[in-house]
Structures are given as structure tokens and as C-alpha cells.
């Protein structure tokens, strides 16, 4: 890696605010196989702003619930603990899941839309195609976090050079231009944040899942495929959309045929439409959420 870029990325990582204790705790809890709903509720209830985000989301028109949900425990039961962790990450001051990726020529909402679609696809694949080897909550959270490295590289990418790019693999292009790819940069940040081991592994290897540690390989393949699924179905992150290849060895870890995948695409899209609207409505009406946090 060129020494200059390495230093720039290290410097950037130093300026990124750390994850809030509540988000870190939620990520740790979800990584625990035997956690209970109450473990999540207890943490969420210590944070008034997160509680209000969770309640606003569950009561948004997109879900169309007949009765208003009034307690955190009912809201978390409905949304699922991993989606609550996703909301906690979106609320983070670092903007790590929803930063505009201008260096990737992506639209303003592209980063969050891609993270959310990948998370929903990953949870679906874990449930239907992993033969019980990957827990849904872990897959969802890894889907939200997998591309955190892009926000680090975005400002360093020389957008003007894209006019002449050929159809090469985008990961290789990042390495050529910057000496590092977004997966490795994301891993540096994940390590600094002391994220759970599973998250560090899939952030680092989501484009090269065969390199993940044995115990996390199925999860890495799930995020690999969920990431590509999001790009295929219109939720990419700009210039690199569709410019990553599939590691065909996924067949050893994931059981899926053409028809099963097509049904997955359809159901993932419908769930995404609903969830995106619910979360958008909540964050639009809480424009102050992040600034309140900064005070």
C-alpha cells in the first residue's frame, strides 16, 4: 500500500467518532448465540433517543399496525433485535452506514439503501439457504456493516479517473488507485472499534469469502451473495455496482437453485420497500437525532 494513502486512512480512522456504548453492546449481544429479547430491551431502554427511534419506526404508516405500539419491548419483538441494532448503527454520529459516497459517484441515499438491502438479503439467505449454520441476526447486522470501508475510501477516490475505467474488477481498481480496497479499510476500522470477530471477518472478506476463517466462512459467503443481490436489484453504491464477481464456491456453503433465488429476490424487495419507508419516515421526522447526540 502506498505509504501516503495508508497514513491518510489511518488519520481518517482516528477522526471517526467511536461507536456509542449502546451500539457496541447491542452488537456484542447479537453475536451471542444464547441472548434473549430482554437483553436487547434492557440496553435499548437505557437510551431515550434510540427508544424513540424504535417506537417511531414500528408505528410508521409503512407497517400499518392497527394499534399504536407503546413499549420498547413490544416494538423490539415486532422489529426483531437485529433491526434494532441496524437502527442504532444508522443513528451513529460517525454516519458510517449512511455517509454519502461521492467518490463512488453514488446518490445521497445509496449507502444506507445498499446496507439495508444487503442486511435483509443476508437474513433471508441465512434463514433459507444456510442449513441453520448462520443465525439470522448475525447475518443482518453483518449486512448493515459490511461496507463501512467505502466511507473511508470515498474521499480519496479520484472520480475523474473513472471516465477511462474498463470493465475490471472494482476491488482491483481500488487497489491500483489507492493501494488498498474498501474491505481491508473497513477491517481496519472494525478492528479499531473492537467489533465482534464475526463482523471483522466478513467486513474484510465479503468479496473474497474463501479467505475467511473456517468458522465464519458460511457467513462470509452469505454476505458476499447478499451484497451482490443488493447490487443486482437496484441498490448499489454507484460506480462499483455489478463490478464485483461471484466466488462460485458458494455452492459448498449455500443451498440455492435458480427458482429459490428468484423467489428470494422478490420477497427481499418487498420487505425492503416496506422497511426502507418505515425507517426513512422515522429519520426524516427526527432530523435532529444525530445533532441531539452531538450536544
Partner 1 sequence: MGKSIILGVGDFGATAETNGILKTYALGSCVAVMILDKKTRCVSMAHVALPESSISPSKAMSLPGYFADTAIPALFEAMKRATGGVLSPANDLIVKMCGGANVSDTNNTFNIGKRNALALKKTLWKYGLAPRADDTGGNFSRTVALYQATGIVEISSPGKENWKI
Angle at which helix 37-44 crosses helix 21-31, to 10 degrees, equals 180
Which of 246, 285, 288, 292 forms a contact with partner 1 (CB under 8 A)?
Answer: 246
What are residue 168's phi and psi, to 5 degrees?
-70, 160
292 touches partner 1 (CB under 8 A): no
Nearest residue (CB) to partner 1, 113 versus 142: 113
Contact call for residue 245 and partner 1 (CB under 8 A): yes
Q: Does 259 bind partner 1 (CB under 8 A)?
A: yes
Per CB under 8 A, does 261 bind partner 1?
Answer: yes
Selected binder of partner 1 within 241, 278, 279, 283 (CB under 8 A): 241
Query: Which range, of 2-10, 29-37, 70-78, 230-238, touches partner 1 by CB under 8 A?
Result: 230-238
- Rounded to 5°, the CA angle 175-179-181 comes to 50
Question: How many distinct helices (H) and strands (E) make up the chain?
Answer: 15, 0
Name the minimum Å distance from CB 162 to partner 1: 4
**By C-beta, is 68 or 248 nearer to partner 1?**
248
| 163 lies in the site for partner 1, by CB under 8 A | yes
CB of 59 to partner 1, least distance (A): 24
114 φ, ψ (degrees, to nearest 5): -65, -45
Please, which residues have CB within 8 angstroms of residue 294's CB and are 6 or more apart in sequence? 93
Q: How far is CA 294 from CA 13, 21, 56, 283, in A?
A: 18, 14, 21, 16
Asked if 108 is part of the footprint of partner 1 (rule: CB under 8 A), the reply reads: no
Q: In this structure, is the dihedral angle defined by the CA atoms of residues 285, 287, 289 and 295, taken in order, positive or negative? A: negative
Residue 81 region by backbone torsions, left for phi larger than 0, else alpha for psi between -120 and 50, else beta = alpha
What are 196's three cell numbers? 465482534
Q: Name which position in 5, 12, 102, 269 contacts partner 1 (CB under 8 A).
A: 269
Nearer to partner 1 by Cβ, of 73 and 105: the residue is 105
Kindly list the residues in this chain that would bind partner 1 in the complex (CB under 8 A): 104-106, 162-163, 165, 167, 225, 228, 231-236, 238-239, 241-246, 248, 250-251, 256-259, 261-263, 265-266, 269-270, 273
Amino acid at each position: 500500500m502506498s505509504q501516503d494513502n495508508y497514513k491518510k486512512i489511518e488519520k481518517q480512522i482516528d477522526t471517526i467518532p467511536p461507536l456509542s456504548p449502546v451500539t457496541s453492546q447491542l452488537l456484542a449481544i447479537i453475536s451471542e448465540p444464547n441472548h434473549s429479547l430482554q437483553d436487547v430491551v434492557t440496553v435499548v431502554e437505557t437510551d431515550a433517543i434510540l427508544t424513540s427511534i424504535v417506537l417511531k419506526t414500528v408505528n410508521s404508516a409503512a407497517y400499518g399496525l392497527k394499534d399504536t405500539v407503546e413499549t420498547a419491548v413490544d416494538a423490539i419483538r415486532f422489529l426483531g433485535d437485529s433491526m434494532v441494532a441496524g437502527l442504532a448503527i444508522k443513528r451513529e454520529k460517525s454516519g458510517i452506514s449512511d455517509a454519502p459516497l461521492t467518490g463512488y459517484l453514488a446518490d445521497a441515499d445509496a449507502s444506507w439503501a445498499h446496507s439495508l438491502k444487503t442486511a435483509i438479503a443476508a437474513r433471508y439467505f441465512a434463514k433459507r439457504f444456510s442449513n441453520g449454520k448462520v443465525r439470522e441476526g448475525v447475518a443482518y447486522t453483518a449486512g448493515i456493516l459490511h461496507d463501512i470501508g467505502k466511507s473511508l475510501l470515498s474521499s480519496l477516490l479520484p472520480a475523474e479517473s473513472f471516465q477511462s475505467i474498463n470493465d475490471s474488477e472494482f476491488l482491483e481498481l481500488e487497489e491500483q488507485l489507492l493501494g488498498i480496497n474498501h474491505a481491508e479499510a473497513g477491517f481496519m476500522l472494525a478492528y479499531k472499534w473492537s467489533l465482534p470477530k464475526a463482523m471483522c471477518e466478513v467486513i474484510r472478506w465479503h468479496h473474497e469469502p474463501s479467505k475467511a476463517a473456517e468458522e465464519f466462512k458460511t457467513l462470509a459467503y452469505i454476505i458476499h451473495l447478499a451484497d451482490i443481490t443488493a447490487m443486482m436489484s437496484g441498490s448499489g453504491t454507484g460506480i462499483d455496482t455489478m463490478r464485483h464477481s461471484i466466488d462460485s464456491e458458494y455452492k459448498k456453503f449455500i443451498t440455492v437453485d435458480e427458482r429459490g433465488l428468484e423467489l428470494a429476490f422478490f420477497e427481499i424487495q418487498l420487505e425492503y420497500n416496506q422497511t426502507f419507508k418505515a425507517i426513512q419516515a422515522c429519520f426524516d421526522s427526527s432530523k435532529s437525532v444525530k445533532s441531539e447526540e452531538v450536544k
